[in-house]
């Protein structure tokens, strides 16, 4: 594979050519996700409470949007950010596809 010096040199060229792209790569592939934002934690708590009210049934995007008090689009993006951080599992092409993981 690559030697450390070669990797370091490529990284320096990437950062020099496109700092925004370098930041995005780090953001997407950061092995240690940062803490949840206040809004994300609030959303996770609301979704847990809503799911408990529904006897633990997995949520739909519409139900998640209702619980969060936002549009379906905003709920979609919020849920996918929570999925990226490992708090939610989303099964593609399923109706009740939003499964909250145990904390």
Alpha carbons 89 and 99: distance in angstroms, whole number: 5
Count CB atoms within 10 A of the CB of residue 79: 24
* Letter string b/e over residues 28-47, b meaning 16 or more CB atoms within 10 A of that residue's CB: eeeeeeeebeeeeeebbeeb
- So where are the chain's domains? 1-32, 38-100
- pLDDT (0 to 100) of residue 71: 92
Topology (CATH) of 38-100: Arc Repressor Mutant, subunit A (1.10.10)
Rounded distance, CA 70 to CA 77, Å? 11
pLDDT level of residue 20 (50, 70, 90 thresholds): confident
Average pLDDT over residues 46-65: 84
Q: State the pTM of this model.
A: 0.62
In this predicted structure, the answer to whether residue 65 has a pLDDT above a threshold of 70 is yes
């Amino acid at each position: 594979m690559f030697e450390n010096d070669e990797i370091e040199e490529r990284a320096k060229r990437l950062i020099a050519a496109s700092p925004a792209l370098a930041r995005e790569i780090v953001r997407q592939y950061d092995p240690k996700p940062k803490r949840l934002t206040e809004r994300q934690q609030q959303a996770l708590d609301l979704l847990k409470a809503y799911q408990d009210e529904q006897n633990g049934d997995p949520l739909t995007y519409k139900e998640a949007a209702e619980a969060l008090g936002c549009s379906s689009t905003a709920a979609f993006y919020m849920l996918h950010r929570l999925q990226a951080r490992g708090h939610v599992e989303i099964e593609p092409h399923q109706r009740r596809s939003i499964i909250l993981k145990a904390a």
